[in-house]
Amino acid sequence: MMRSVPVNAPSGQYEVKIGSGILSLLGQAVAERTKAKKCMVVCGENVSPLYAPTVLQSLRDAGLEADKIVFPAGEETKCLQRYGELLNALADLRLTRSDCVIALGGGVTGDLAGFAAATYQRGIAYVQVPTTLLAAVDSSVGGKTAIDLPAGKNQAGAFYQPSLVLCDTDTLSTLPQRELRAGYAEVIKYGVLGDAGLFQKLEKQSISLPEIIETCVRCKAEIVAEDEYDTGRRRLLNLGHTFGHAVESRSHFTLLHGEAVAIGMGMICRAAVKKKYLSKEDCERITALLEKTGLPTESPYGPDELYETLLLDKKFSGGKLHLIVPCSIGKCDIVPVTPEELREWLEMSYE
């Protein structure tokens, strides 16, 4: 069974296809949705031996010329040097403006390949083929692409929508358990920010992985259609990310992104109870679900250690940052805060 979710972003419409065993259908789908004659498959060293052969074969079977470039696994690959190498590889392959980049992997590959596609010859088509849960439910959808700079994460990037997202759920079977758990932090995030039904099903463990992915993608697609450029409602997707990014950065990336987001959600929920936005019962249900999933909810670092990093958050603009505060399961508020108010929220996020 193949699930299909339309994404109607103002700058581009596309489908997210979700299903078991659909990787070999990629070539046909690329041929139908793009004008490509040549494709460059971008992947990481762990993903390449597992899934690149099927992807390359599928593209060639559909009459496309296909090559691949493999990068080391890990966040360090989202850097200027690898970005430059990728642009040069696209040029060496003589990709033209009608050709296509295929991002095969997790969020690191998707962000790097997407940014290269956005900027090579002022923009060529790209297709996201997510192979992590985090990429399937979040990073492959919505068109945020980026690399990191020495000054910080995602400091250079573009909003640039893919032509297609194809998620073969079978690929998640080879994902290390820790990475899978980290992806669940983003799944739980969708339940808290907008879908109480999803949250309940997760509590009862009465939902399959393909249904989880479809539900999260529908939620993200709806938000992106309304606010593609992250000036309003899309900010809700940052639930758990303000404190989470500070914790992730302070851990020097020894904590995975999803683990840090889980901590960030635990922190903002505790502060929201003290500030009377959220009931104690809902806070306990959220932290209980995160913990049952095997995720941390408390910061290993104190407020003084995190505050400096928080002040560097790139989402501070005009002296304010938008904090995403849960009001109940399925509903969050967007609360603009000054640095001083942020410090107060931070202090309150500890038991």
75 CB-side CA count, 13 A: 14
Q: Which does 216 bind (CB under 5 to 8 A by kind): ligand GLY, ligand NAD, none?
A: none
Q: Are strands 38-44 and 144-149 parallel, antiparallel or unpaired?
A: unpaired
| Least distance from ligand NAD to the Cβ atom of residue 38, Å | 24
Under the binding rule (CB under 6 A), the answer on residue 134 touching ligand NAD is yes
The candidate with the shortest Cα–Cα distance to 290, out of 349, 202, 177, is: 202
Contacting ligand NAD within 9-68 (CB under 6 A): 44, 46-47, 50
- Of 31 and 77, which CB lies nearer to ligand NAD in the complex structure? 77
| Least distance from ligand NAD to the Cβ atom of residue 210, Å | 15
Single out the residue of 42, 95, 135, 278 in contact with ligand NAD (rule: CB under 6 A).
Answer: 135
CA distance 279 to 269: 9
The candidate with the shortest Cα–Cα distance to 99, out of 9, 34, 27, 147, is: 34
- Of 115 and 120, which CB lies nearer to ligand NAD in the complex structure? 115
Q: Which does 108 bind (CB under 5 to 8 A by kind): ligand GLY, ligand NAD, none?
A: ligand NAD
Type of residue numbered 187:
V
Beta strands in 45-151, from DSSP E residues, in sequence order: 65-71, 100-105, 125-130, 144-149
Residue nearest to ligand GLY (CB): 237
Query: Pattern 121-140, binding to ligand GLY, x per CB under 6 A?
Result: -----------------x--
Whole-angstrom CA distances from 65 to 71, 94, 101, 171 are 20, 11, 12, 24
Whole-angstrom CA distances from 158 to 66, 123, 338 are 25, 10, 27
- Of 327 and 334, which CB lies nearer to ligand NAD in the complex structure? 334
CA distance 149 to 256: 19
Is the separation of the CB atoms in 95 and 139 below 8 Å?
Answer: no
Q: Which does 75 bind (CB under 5 to 8 A by kind): ligand NAD, ligand GLY, none?
A: ligand NAD
DSSP single-letter state for residue 312:
T
Under the binding rule (CB under 6 A), the answer on residue 107 touching ligand NAD is yes
CA distance 193 to 331: 5
CA distance 108 to 74: 7
- Of 41 and 188, which CB lies nearer to ligand GLY in the complex structure? 188
Q: Which stretch binds ligand NAD (CB under 6 A): 84-92, 106-114, 195-203, 330-338?
A: 106-114
Q: Which does 106 bind (CB under 5 to 8 A by kind): ligand NAD, ligand GLY, none?
A: ligand NAD
Single out the residue of 153, 234, 285, 315 in contact with ligand GLY (rule: CB under 6 A).
Answer: 234
Burial class of residue 99 (count of CB atoms within 10 Å of its CB; 0-12, 13-18, 19+)? buried
Which residues are at the interface with ligand NAD (CB under 6 A)? Answer: 44, 46-47, 50, 73, 75, 78, 105-109, 111, 131-132, 134-135, 138-139, 142, 144, 154, 171, 174-175, 179, 257
Which residues are at the interface with ligand GLY (CB under 6 A)? Answer: 138, 142, 144, 230, 234, 237
